[in-house]
Structure formats: C-alpha cells, structure tokens
Structure 1
C-alpha cells in the first residue's frame, strides 16, 4: 500500500470560474457564510486575505466532528487554481502532508467545472485515503454555488 497519493473529482457549478476563484483567492472570509454547516470560522494568522503565502486558520466540521487546520495558500491567477498547503492541525495527525487544490475551469456561460484534488502522504499505511476531505470540499463547492445563486 502506498503512503503517497491523490484523490480527485470534478464538480460542475453555475458560478463563473473567475468568481469561484476570487472567493478562494481573495474572499475566503465569505466561505463560513456560504457554508455554515461545514465551516465555523476562518481568520488570517499571517498576511492578509489576498496575498499568496498568507496563512489562515480554519475551523470546520468533518464527519460530524470539529477540526482545525492552519494552511498556507498558493495562488495561480492565470490557471485559476488555489492550493492550500496544510501546516498543522487535526489532519496533520494522520497525514505528513495534505494539500488541497481547487482549479476552476470556465464551462459555458456563467458556469465552471471545478477540479478538486487532494495530494497527501500518510504517516503510516493503515491511515485511510482522505476521501472524507475530498467530500468535504465537494460539499463546500456546492454550498458556494447555492450561495451564489441566491444572490
């Protein structure tokens, strides 16, 4: 069994790719409002909301339990992708590395195809693949879509 790997999926949403990318790259503080059942809070630990390399602390619920993660963001404006690099927190108890990549691709008028990928390295072999985190980000993406459609 491999310790390193990735899990990924795609989600089609009725949110323009620029708008979806902008939420994650410049307005992450809106995510708890868009998905209050999943994300309790987020705050800037170092830097600001818009600068690559800024560090944020997220409080969220996964599998019915509260967790926290400190992450550093890497932005690719041209590609409309955001990479969140896990630095410390609950996930780091099972994974040596865990990075979430959200990549918004334009798809028709006012919609996009969001690729959600989690790259990870387990601390030991019997740790499960992080499918629960993949599902968490799929749910966040759908909640952002619903929040956008509400206006």
Structure 2
C-alpha cells in the first residue's frame, strides 16, 4: 500500500499530531483521510477522520492493525532511551 502524508499540525500543549493523507491508495476509496494522535500520561489516542466516496466503501478497519503496530514501534523506541 502506498501513501504520502503531510504533518498538518503539531500541538505540544495537547501533545497531539495531525496527519493529512495527500496521495495514495486510500484516496481511491475515501475523499479525505486524516489521523490524529494525542498522548496523555501512559495512553495514546488515535482519531481517524475520513469520508467515503460511496456508501458501499467499507470502513477502514483493516488499517487499524497498521496503526497498532506503529504505536508499538514508537513505544519500543521511546523505551530504548
């Protein structure tokens, strides 16, 4: 799967980052696709914003595994230091 994203916003006070998908396979099925992550103590919250191109387009649940793996990799990296 191919995707190109843009870091749209970084808010150090809220400890959040917003990514906007600007190219890639997901945009064949969705009009827009954004991901927001925020951290609070030991919790990371992901919010996915998207708009389906048609009602028949499935929910992007298959991509949650990727987000979980990404979160685990970041966590492992941060605990190395």
Sort the TM-score into its range (normalised by shorter chain): 0.7 to 0.9
Q: Give, in angstroms, the shift of residue 120 of structure 1.
A: 0.6
Quote how far apart the aligned CAs of 1:82 are: 0.5
Gaps of 5+ in 1: 1-66, 107-111
CA distance in 1, matches of 2:50, 2:67: 15
- The reply to whether residue 114 of structure 1 matches residue 44 of structure 2 is yes
Specify the alignment match of 2:2 in structure 1: 68
| TM-score normalised by length of structure 2 | 0.86
Asked whether the 8 Å contact 1:104–1:115 carries over to 2, the reply is yes
Measure how far apart 1:126 and its partner are: 1.2
| Number of positions where the alignment pairs a residue of Structure 1 with one of Structure 2 | 80
Segments of structure 2 that go 5 or more residues without pairing to the other structure are none
Q: CA RMSD in A?
A: 1.4
Which protein is bigger by CA-based radius of gyration? Answer: 1
Q: 5 Å matches for 1:20-59? A: none
2:25 and 2:64 mapped to 1: Cα distance?
15
**Distance in structure 2 (CA, Å) of the matches to 1:72 and 1:147:** 22
The answer to whether structure 1 residue 124 and structure 2 residue 54 are counterparts is yes
**SS at 1:82 equivalent:** strand
SS of equivalent to 1:127 = coil
1:79 aligns to 2:14 (yes or no): yes
TM-score using structure 1 length: 0.49
Is the 1:83–1:102 Cα contact (8 Å) retained in structure 2?
A: yes
Q: Higher relative contact order by CA 8 Å / sep ≥ 6: 1 or 2?
A: 1
Distance 1:117 1:138 in 2: 12
Q: CA deviation digits over 1:75-134, x for unaligned, max 9?
A: 11110111101111111011101001111112xxxxx20001111101111111111222
Q: Deviating runs (4+, > 6 A) in structure 1?
A: none
Report SS of the residue matched to 1:143.
helix
